[in-house]
Amino acid sequence: MREFKKLTPYKEALSLLLNDLGEIPETEEIPLDEALWRVLAEDIVSPIDLPPFSRAAVDGYAVRAEDTFPAREYNPVEIRVVDEIIAGEESNTEVTPGTAVKLLTGAKIPEGANAVLMHEMAERDGDVIRVLRPVAPGQNVAMKGEDVRKGEVVLRKGHILRPQDISILKALGFRTVKVKRKPRVGIIVTGSELIEEFDEEALMHGKILESNSVMLKGLVEQYFGEPRFYGVFPDDEGEIGKAIEKAQEENDLVLVTGGSAFGDMDFAHRFVKLLFHGTTIRPGRPIGYGERTFVMSGYPVAVFAQFHLYVKHALAKLVGARNYEVKVRARLTERVPSQLGRYEFVKVWYENGKAKPIKKKGSGIISSLVESNGYITIPEDSEGYLEGEEVEVVLY
């Protein structure tokens, strides 16, 4: 089998890839309840103040703070209650010197009041309360606009919408939101040894249950895309070529697993004009890219690494996503060696500020992915990290 004469350094290959892609121009207006994890297509500007009025942060009495300044438990100040309201109601009575309005949490602060005296800080006798402690101006009041000001940019284009983001959009009065169209991603799996349904006899005679397709579907959905599975194809040059051509016509990206090296039955890379083929990453060295098509390994662990190191960045570029990786700092629980010239993708389990490398090796050992929840990378000019060294972990 012919080997790679030259491996493209990881960052150089990634730069070639991202420079080849542009942001998808199409957008969609969708209901808020369908917007989770979608990518914003425009800045969100608040049309109102939030809260839209000053409101009580506790149950108690709306008062003029200065009326309470002399109050002490041994020398209470008496104030007359002139109205009572609940959340959602508004008092038409102005709070004047020596008066108060009873209200519940969330109720609008009446005119004249500038503080809320907690219910527990007063003793009531009919229409009179005896104030036991003073309150300061603004105390126990959620001020108008303290959450969001009218005209403020709340969320920016490229933001990935989380549950809390959808909550604030609803609170601001939005019913729909404009997001980027999901990139369409064609998935093609190749290999004559692969079967799609469990067959114990076939497995005993050298067949392998195909699993890359479901993993890639999940990863594509996780990173903004719409997966389209074209099937499992035997190592037939004609069939693979037709499948790639069809997928390229119908999708924004195409992922082909198997056939990325130079074996006699490795056909996939022959149908794509590649910008690079063979990079310094490990696992997954034989990856190639060109014409919006990734030619990937057949081994699941290598495919997983290739997706995280290349494909997810391509998907993010297509939708203009920002901050799409969750990164944390951690201390290594043991030494992680590497070989100069390799860009290592090392699976780890991150917990409580520590990163434990997964010892299981091999591009076909799927359980090593299951037992990990993140990865670290070791650049080509490093021989690894020492036990206790601080590293950056990308979570998945």
Give the phi and the psi of residue 315 in degrees, each rounded to 5. Answer: -65, -40
> Average of pLDDT values for 287-302?
96
- Alpha-carbon gap, residue 44 to 42, rounded angstroms: 6
| H-assigned helices in 28-107 | 65-68
> Average of pLDDT values for 9-38?
98
- Alpha-carbon gap, residue 52 to 148, rounded angstroms: 9
> Average of pLDDT values for 366-373?
98
pLDDT for 152 equals 98
Model confidence at 391: pLDDT above 90: yes
pLDDT band at 263 (very low <50, low <70, confident <90, very high): low
> Average of pLDDT values for 272-282?
96
Q: Are residues 278 and 194 in the same domain?
A: yes
pLDDT for 279 equals 97
Model confidence at 264: pLDDT above 80: no
Count of CB atoms situated within 10 Å of the CB of 92: 9
Contact 260, 296 (CB under 8 A): yes
Say if 1 falls within a structural domain: no
Model confidence at 1: pLDDT above 50: no
Q: Are residues 198 and 73 in the same domain?
A: no
> Average of pLDDT values for 243-272?
86
pLDDT for 95 equals 98
Q: What tens digit of pLDDT does each residue of 60-72 get?
A: 999 999 999 999 9
How many domains does the structure of the chain reveal? 4
Q: Are residues 99 and 155 in the same domain?
A: no
Q: Which residues contact 62 (CB under 8 A, 6 or more apart)?
A: 56, 91, 95, 100, 101, 102, 103, 109, 110, 113, 115, 116
Q: Is the dihedral of CA 48, 52, 57, 58 positive or negative?
A: negative
Model confidence at 307: pLDDT above 90: yes
Q: Are residues 354 and 251 in the same domain?
A: no
Q: What tens digit of pLDDT does each residue of 85-107 get?
A: 998 899 999 999 999 999 999 99
Give the phi and the psi of residue 38 in degrees, each rounded to 5. Answer: -85, 165
Strand segments (E) across 144-224: 153-155, 176-180, 184-190, 194-195, 208-209
Q: Are residues 105 and 204 in the same domain?
A: no
Model confidence at 171: pLDDT above 60: yes
Q: Are residues 370 and 391 in the same domain?
A: yes
Domain boundary among 319, 348, 364: 319
pLDDT for 199 equals 83
- Alpha-carbon gap, residue 255 to 316, rounded angstroms: 15
Q: In whole angstroms, how far apart are CA 220 and each of 4, 10, 67, 133, 253? A: 29, 21, 62, 59, 10
Say if 84 falls within a structural domain: yes
Domain boundary among 85, 119, 142: 142
Q: Are residues 90 and 74 in the same domain?
A: yes
Say if 368 falls within a structural domain: yes
Give the phi and the psi of residue 241 in degrees, each rounded to 5. Answer: -60, -45
Q: What tens digit of pLDDT does each residue of 183-197 get?
A: 999 999 999 888 888
Q: Are residues 175 and 187 in the same domain?
A: no
Q: Are residues 154 and 267 in the same domain?
A: no
DSSP 3-state of 30:
strand
Nearest to 391, CA basis, from 322, 325, 336: 336
pLDDT band at 259 (very low <50, low <70, confident <90, very high): confident
Structural domain that includes position 249: 10-25+182-319
Domain boundary among 142, 157, 172: 142
What average pLDDT does the structure give for the chain? 95
User: Residue type at 262?
Assistant: F
Give the phi and the psi of residue 232 in degrees, each rounded to 5. Answer: -100, 125
Q: In whole angstroms, how far apart are CA 301 and each of 126, 140, 345? A: 74, 55, 10
